[in-house]
Amino acid sequence: MVTGRSGLDQLEGQIRRDFRYLNYPPDNWVKPMSGPDGASVADVVIIGGGMCGMAAAFGLRREGIQNFRIFDARDAGAEGPWVTTARMRTLRSPKRLAGPNLNLPNLTFRMWCVAKYGREMWESFEYIPREMWMEYLIWYRHILDIPTENNHRLERIEPEGDLLRLHLQGPDGPVTLLARHLVLATGRAAFGGCRIPAVFEDIPPSLIAHTEEAIDFSAMAGKRVLVIGGAASAVDSAAVALEQGAGEVHLLMRATEIPRVNKFKNTAYPGFFRGTLALDDARRWRFLHYSLASRIAPPRLSMLRLKEYDNFHIHKGVSVRQAAVTDGAVQLDSGDRKFTGDFVILGTGYAIDMTRQPELAAHAGDIRLWRDHFMPPAGLESDELGRFPYLGPGFEFLEKEPGAAPHLARIHLFNAASMLSHSGISADIPGVNVGVERLVNALASAFFTEDADRHLADLYAYAEPELLGDEWRED
Ligand SMILES: Cc1cc2nc3c(=O)[nH]c(=O)nc-3n(C[C@H](O)[C@H](O)[C@H](O)COP(=O)(O)OP(=O)(O)OC[C@H]3O[C@@H](n4cnc5c(N)ncnc54)[C@H](O)[C@@H]3O)c2cc1C
């Protein structure tokens, strides 16, 4: 069996053949539109060139929506968390998960892995090595020819008539462009950034970092490291600190017992992905409220990384109430316990707070949130869930006051903050095919209905003869 470049050449040949059989890519059918003074307008701009953004781009192209652009703030090959801020050795989902293949077998991780590394390699692991997953995504971009424009960060969105004017910062300075629809495939941290508990806000950056940031672990050799949180990112950061020679690592978690179950695993099936949107609000709320309140177990493989270290300590039931710096060290106080560290790592997850998200903050007052729409029953209250956006069926923002901000219908939030409205179909690997299908259906429908009169005029004008007049004899 051929592997390496020759294996990939073979696979890529098969994919090109599949595309020929599927008549991919179909011609563009969306009516062209120009902006003021004839300025060009993109039908869709996708922000985010990670898994979800790329899969959305492929989905659009497959449905004949060809006039799109896709941007990412990061360097090419560094999109998403995989080779930057992720610190686990492997993905937590098993290798057979469906990824962004849009139901084409030759686009799966498995086909790529076998073609590049051979069957034995595929059989040798159960969980996908993190860097290998990124390698697959880079190949996915290559074989699908996804035209990501890297090093462009979206900073501001403004309505302009029936269009959106987008302001990006590019490598050569500011860039503005017009779009009919905007897809924010911006990842986990893009609805309010990192969650930083207030008690840590005054610790100087030289002594503290969130797991979402780049961290110089080599500087922790011999040092006392305090890691806050009990979920995957905290545990993996603790492991890297130990592997890089930290003197001692203390993991401080609020839970009184280490959570053993990941309830979200039980929500990764087609019924949940496809049906959540159709549920009543009370049940949608209950599903997510319960899954989050149950706390998510860190992956077993991550916990096992810590086991061999005698200089690793878990402290349960610790809620830090005070944090201060004395003689260059951080002192944490939970009331009944005190901890001293040379560096603190916050594995405290992501905020849900649109007012802190630069490109969305200006629209925050107009966007309908769950708390504007739904009153949870007693015992199920949650400020955080209340701050999730209440999205429409195509992931579009809805207005708080009907008619006050119609441009919001053109902004589709295709990231993890869609979870309460749609389930994890624009966030996690197993759901992304369903998410892209739903997003692309919504956009295709929007473009058709927005231009229905032009399409009708086309139909009236359509005169391509099927019969040439020589197929029959007149008597
Ligand atoms: C550490 C970690 C481990 C995970 N492990 C798993 C797992 O094992 N299994 C699983 O199913 N899921 C996992 N997930 C969840 C999910 O699969 C990942 O978050 C995945 O990266 C989601 O893809 P995405 O395209 O939505 O976001 P990302 O991959 O994060 O891509 C978003 C992109 O948007 C860009 N961007 C953001 N804002 C802007 C802006 N304003 N302008 C321009 N570009 C912008 C970013 O640069 C980034 O490249 C994990 C997540 C994390 C953080």
| pLDDT tens-digit series, residues 225-245 | 999 999 999 999 999 999 999
Render pLDDT for 46-67 as a digit per residue (tens, 0 to 9).
Answer: 999 999 999 999 999 999 999 9
Work out the end-to-end distance of the chain between its first and last CA atoms, rounded to an integer number of angstroms.
Answer: 66
Confidence of residue 93 (pLDDT cuts 50, 70, 90): confident
- Distance separating alpha carbons of residues 54 and 73, to the nearest angstrom: 14
* Beta carbons of 341 and 250 less than 8 angstroms apart: yes
Q: How much is the average pLDDT of 335-363?
A: 97
Question: At residue 98, does pLDDT exceed 90?
Answer: no
Going by C-beta distance under 8 Å and a sequence separation of 6 or more, which residues neighbour residue 336? none
Ligand 1 site, residue 189, Cβ cutoff 6 A: no
150/313 Cα distance (integer angstroms): 41
Q: How far is the CA of 186 from the centre of ligand 1 (A)?
A: 7
The two tokens of residue 363 are: 């629209």
Q: Rounded mean pLDDT of the chain?
A: 97
% of the chain beyond a pLDDT of 90: 97
Q: Is 359 a pocket residue for ligand 1 (Cβ < 6 Å)?
A: yes
User: Tell me: the pLDDT tens digits for 443-455?
Assistant: 999 999 999 999 9
Query: Given pLDDT bands bounded at 50, 70 and 90, which one contains residue 458?
Result: very high
User: What are 257-291's pLDDT values in tens digits?
Assistant: 999 999 999 999 999 999 999 999 999 999 999 99
For ligand 1, the distance from its centroid to the CA atom of residue 354, given in whole angstroms, is 18
Q: How would CATH label the architecture of 4-191+352-455?
A: 3-Layer(bba) Sandwich (3.50)
> In angstroms, rounded to a whole number, what is the distance separating the alpha carbons of residues 284 and 270?
16
Would you say the CATH fold of 198-260+297-346 matches that of 4-191+352-455?
yes
Helices (H), 336-470: 370-373, 383-386, 419-422, 432-450, 452-461
- Is residue 51 within 8 A of residue 99, CB to CB? The reply is yes
pLDDT of 462 above 90: yes
Q: pLDDT at position 457, please?
A: 98
Q: Which residues pair with 88 in a beta bridge?
A: none
* Nearest Cα to Cα of residue 80 among 127, 32, 26, 136: 136
Structural domain spans, the chain: 4-191+352-455, 198-260+297-346
With a 6 Å cutoff on the Cβ, whether 113 touches ligand 1 is no
Q: CA torsion angle for 133, 349, 72, 397 (degrees, to 10)?
A: 120
* pLDDT of 439 above 90: yes
Name the CATH superfamily housing domain 198-260+297-346: FAD/NAD(P)-binding domain (3.50.50.60)
From the number of C-beta atoms within 10 Å of its C-beta (0-12, 13-18, 19+), residue 45 rates as buried
Percent of the chain with pLDDT over 70: 100
Q: Name 94's bridge partners.
A: 127
Note the pLDDT of residue 97: 86
Which helix (DSSP H) or strand (DSSP E) does residue 288 occupy? helix 281-293
Is the predicted pLDDT of residue 1 greater than 90, yes or no? no
What is the pLDDT, as a whole number, of residue 3?
87
Instruction: Indicate if ligand 1 lies below 6 Å from the C-beta of 262.
Output: no
Across 86-90, 92-96, 371-375, least confident range: 92-96
- Mutate which of 69, 75, 79 for ligand 1? The one with the most ligand atoms within 8 Å of its CB, which is 79
Side chain identity, residue 466:
E
Tokens at residue 264, please?
């979200």
Q: Region 165-175: what's the mean pLDDT?
A: 98
Question: How would you class 160 by CB atoms within 10 Å of its CB: exposed for 0-12, middle for 13-18, buried for 19 or more?
Answer: middle
Q: In whole angstroms, give the CA distance from residue 463 to residue 465.
A: 6
Q: Report residue 154's pLDDT band, with 50, 70 and 90 as the boundaries.
A: very high
Pairing of strands 163-170, 153-160: antiparallel
